[in-house]
């Protein structure tokens, strides 16, 4: 049972350290840098207390104007999980993961709070959509770090946006609430390689947006990605980052999202 993260962290702790404080701090950055999506899990369940601790860690993340616009729905029911796996594009691990959480952007709760104070909710603001969606992502990433620190593996499921209306109906989401992504959690039963990222020079700019060297850097990165896929697939997959991007942004992507969101009360003005 290859528990990569646990091994990593155990090794780090066994190591003799002269400067304890610096070493501990490096352990957090090592944990962050050790992330890879896990799609194969052992049968081991996750205790409710662990999930509660993970969500509590999520809530501690920064939140815009204290809006706390995230609602998480934990789905245990096997039929619901099977349906969600199907709606997300046939991702079996949505069904098989020990825990599945749906992360929703929720403006209904602030609306209710506003109305409890006699206010009128200003519906459909693009800015509120941005605040709410960002809030969800910040909280979810805290949950992910907490989970990984506890030896769990995770996989984000953006595929819930393949069929957002059906997902919303299934989970009884009211207007002003939409499913941004799901999260599979479980104890890892695989240890995939860490995927290489774009060079730092491409993503971190100084003073202004400068992209003169990006093409050269991207070409170099393409070779790395290509090598990564070849190694991982034992020669069967040959793709590069630019090829992946052509597939992703070279065509319409989930073209139903705009109408769906407007129908649910988002992005109207």
List binders of a second copy among 5-24 (CB under 8 A).
Answer: 6, 9-10, 12-13, 20-21, 24
- C-alpha–C-alpha distance, residues 231 and 240, integer Å: 13
Return the residue of 52, 213, 223, 233 that touches a second copy, per CB under 8 A. Answer: 52
Stretch that binds a second copy, among 34-42, 88-96, 184-192, 230-238 (CB under 8 A): 34-42
Antiparallel, parallel or unpaired: β 70-75 and 153-157: unpaired
Q: Is there a contact between 114 and 39 (Cβ–Cβ < 8 Å)?
A: no
Q: Which is nearer to a second copy, 28 or 82 (CB)?
A: 28
Least distance in Å: CB of 236 to a second copy? 18
Q: Which is nearer to a second copy, 86 or 125 (CB)?
A: 125
Q: Which long-range CB contacts under 8 A does 238-241 form with residues at least 24 apart? A: 241/198
- Write out the binding residues for a second copy, residues 196-225 only, by CB under 8 A: 197-198, 200, 202-211, 214-215, 218, 225
Q: What angle do CA 206, 211, 214 make, to 5 degrees?
A: 115
Contacts of 209 (CB under 8 A, 6+ apart): none
- Write out the binding residues for a second copy, residues 58-87 only, by CB under 8 A: 59-62, 64-68, 70-77, 80
Stretch that binds a second copy, among 4-12, 39-47, 85-93, 230-238 (CB under 8 A): 4-12
Return the residue of 181, 184, 187, 265 that touches a second copy, per CB under 8 A. Answer: 181
Burial 65-100 (b: 16+ CB within 10 A, else e): eebbbbbbbebeeeebbebbbbbbeebebbbbbbbb
Least distance in Å: CB of 248 to a second copy? 5
Q: Which is nearer to a second copy, 37 or 191 (CB)?
A: 37
- Write out the binding residues for a second copy, residues 90-119 only, by CB under 8 A: 104, 107-114, 116-119
DSSP state of 250: S
Least distance in Å: CB of 208 to a second copy? 4
The length of the chain in residues reads 269
Least distance in Å: CB of 42 to a second copy? 18
Q: Is 168 exposed, middle or buried (0-12, 13-18, 19+ CB in 10 A)?
A: buried
185 near a second copy, rule: CB under 8 A: no
For residue 100, list its beta bridge partners.
Answer: 75, 184
Least distance in Å: CB of 187 to a second copy? 13
127 near a second copy, rule: CB under 8 A: yes
Give the interface size with a second copy as a residue count (CB under 8 A): 127
Q: Return the H-helix or E-strand segment holding 99.
A: strand 99-106
**Angle between helices 164-171 and 78-87 in degrees, nearest 10:** 170
């Amino acid at each position: 049972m290859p528990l990569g993260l646990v091994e990593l962290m155990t090794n780090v702790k066994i190591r003799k350290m002269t400067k304890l404080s610096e070493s501990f701090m490096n352990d957090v950055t090592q944990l962050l840098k050790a992330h890879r999506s896990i799609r194969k899990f052992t049968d081991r369940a996750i205790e409710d207390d662990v999930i509660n601790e993970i969500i509590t860690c999520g809530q501690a993340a920064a939140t815009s104007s204290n809006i706390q616009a995230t609602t998480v729905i934990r789905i245990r029911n096997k039929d619901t999980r099977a349906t969600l796996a199907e709606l997300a594009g046939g991702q079996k691990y949505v069904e098989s993961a020990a825990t599945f959480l749906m992360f929703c952007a929720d403006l209904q709760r602030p609306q209710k709070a506003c109305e409890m104070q006699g206010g009128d909710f200003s519906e459909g603001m693009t800015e509120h959509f941005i605040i709410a969606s960002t809030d969800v992502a910040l909280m979810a990433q805290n949950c992910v770090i907490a989970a990984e620190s506890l030896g769990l593996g995770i996989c984000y499921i953006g595929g819930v946006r393949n069929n957002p209306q059906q997902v919303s109906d299934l989970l009884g989401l009211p207007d002003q609430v939409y499913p941004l992504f799901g999260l599979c959690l479980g104890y890892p039963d695989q240890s995939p390689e860490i995927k290489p990222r774009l060079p730092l020079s491409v993503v971190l700019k100084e003073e202004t947006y400068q992209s003169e060297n990006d093409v050269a850097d991207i070409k170099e990165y393409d070779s790395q990605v290509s090598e990564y896929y070849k190694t991982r697939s034992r020669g069967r997959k040959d793709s590069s980052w630019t090829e992946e991007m052509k597939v992703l942004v070279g065509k319409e992507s989930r073209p139903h999202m705009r109408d769906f969101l407007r129908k649910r009360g988002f992005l109207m003005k």
